[in-house]
Amino acid sequence: MTELLRPDAVGIARAAALLRKGLLVAFGTETVYGLGADATNDRAVAAIFAAKERPRFNPLICHYADDDAALADVIANDKAWRLATAFWPGPLTLVLARRPDCAISLFASGGLDTLAVRVPEHCVARALLLEAGVPVAAPSANRSGRVSPTTAQHVLQELSGRIAAVLESGLCAVGVESTVLDVSSPTPVLLRPGGVTVEAIEDVIGKVETAVPPSSEPLRSPGMLAVHYAPRTHVRCSAVSVAPNEALLAFGAPLPGAGITFNLSERSDLAEAASRLFTGLRKLDEAAAVLRLERIAVMPVPDQGLGRAINDRLRRAASPRMGRGVWRRRCGEWSDCDDDSIAHPGHEIG
C-alpha cells in the first residue's frame, strides 16, 4: 500500500525515514515529481528501475540539499561552480566525472564514470533532502517512457502499490524536467533542454554545444531515449489543421475542428505552456481513450527559450513506437478519466 504523506514536519520525517530504510518515496520538485531512493544504497537504486520498468543503461539524477554536497561527489571545474552559483537551487543538472571515492551507487550512474547532480529549488524537496541526510537518486515518478507526473495524483495513477509513499508537494511550477548539461570536458554539451534555458546558460559560461541523438553509445543523461514522455495515443507534431478524430494540444488561438482541446497557453506564454505540458498530454490521452480519438495533434511551439524543452519532449512523445494494440497488452487497458476533467467534444479542457 502506497502512503500519501502531507508536506508537513510529520510527513517529511516519515518520508525521510522510509528513504533511509532503502524504500522508494516520490516527491515533488519545481520540475516534475521524482521517484526517490537513497543514492548510496545499491538495492534501493535498483528498486527504482524495477518500479519504473526502466532500462538499466539509463542513468539517474542525484539530488542534494546544497551546492557543496552536490559537488563533493564529482570533480567540479570552474564552469561547474559558476553554473551552480548562478542556477542552484533550480532546474539545472550538471554531469561531471565521479570522484574516485564517490559513495553513490554505480547503478545511479548507469555504470559510467560520470554522475548527474542537481540541487532542487522546491521547498518540500529541499526539506526532505535535509531531513533524509543522504543524496537521493530520483528520476521522474512514472513508468519508463511515459508522461512525467506533475501532481501527486499522477504518481499514484502510475505507481500506486509499487512504492512506499508519495510526499504531497503541490503542482510543479516549471512542469518540464531539468536542463542537463555535461561539463565533464572543456566544451559543455547540452544533453537535454529543460527548465533553465540555453540562452541563460551561455550568458554565464559562453557557447554550449548540443548532443547528437544517441545511437549505440551509452546514454550520459536521463531523458535521452528516442521514445520518451509518451502517452498511449499517438502524437502528431507541428499541426496546422486538425480533424474531428483527433485531440488537439493547442498553443495560443486553437485550431478549429478537434474532437477535444487542451490549451497549453491561450496567451502563447512559454512558461505557462511548459508548466501545463504533461498535464495536457495526460488529459488528452485519457480523453482520446474515452472518445475513441486516433491521435493527439500538437500545434507549433516556438523553438526558443523554454520552447526548446517543450519541443524536445513533444518530439520524443511523437517518435515511432510499438502499435496501440501492443501498448494495450503490455501496459493494460486505458485508464478511466474523471467526468469533471473532460469537456464534451469540441470544447476545451484544463
Reported as a single tens digit per residue, the pLDDT across 174-183 is 999 999 999 9
Report domain extents, the chain: 3-210, 234-349
Q: Which residues contact 193 (CB under 8 A, 6 or more apart)?
A: 179, 308, 309, 312
Contact, 313 vs 307, CB < 8 A? no
Instruction: Kindly report the CATH class assigned to 234-349.
Output: alpha beta
Instruction: Kindly report the CATH class assigned to 3-210.
Output: alpha beta
Supply the DSSP string of 319-345, one letter for each residue.
S--S-HHHHHHHH-SPPP--GGG-PPT
Contact, 167 vs 15, CB < 8 A? yes
Length of the chain: 350
Q: Would you state the pLDDT for residue 110? A: 80
Q: Where are the alpha helices (DSSP H) in the chain?
A: 9-20, 42-52, 67-72, 78-87, 123-132, 152-159, 198-205, 270-291, 306-317, 324-331
Contact, 28 vs 37, CB < 8 A? no
How far is C-alpha 145 from the geometric centre of its chain's CA atoms?
Answer: 10
Contact, 51 vs 139, CB < 8 A? no
- pLDDT-derived band at 160 (thresholds 50, 70, 90) equals very high
Q: Would you state the pLDDT for residue 220? A: 59
pTM above 0.85, yes or no: no
Q: Would you state the pLDDT for residue 348? A: 39
- State the Cα–Cα distance between residues 274 and 91, nearest whole angstrom: 13
Supply the DSSP string of 190-240, one letter for each residue.
EEE--SS-HHHHHHHH---EEPPPPSSSPP-STT-SSS-S--SSEEE-S-S
Mapping DSSP to helix (H, G, I), strand (E, B) and coil, where does residue 68 land? helix
Reported as a single tens digit per residue, the pLDDT across 217-269 is 555 555 555 555 678 899 999 999 999 999 999 999 999 999 999 999 999 99
Contact, 347 vs 261, CB < 8 A? yes
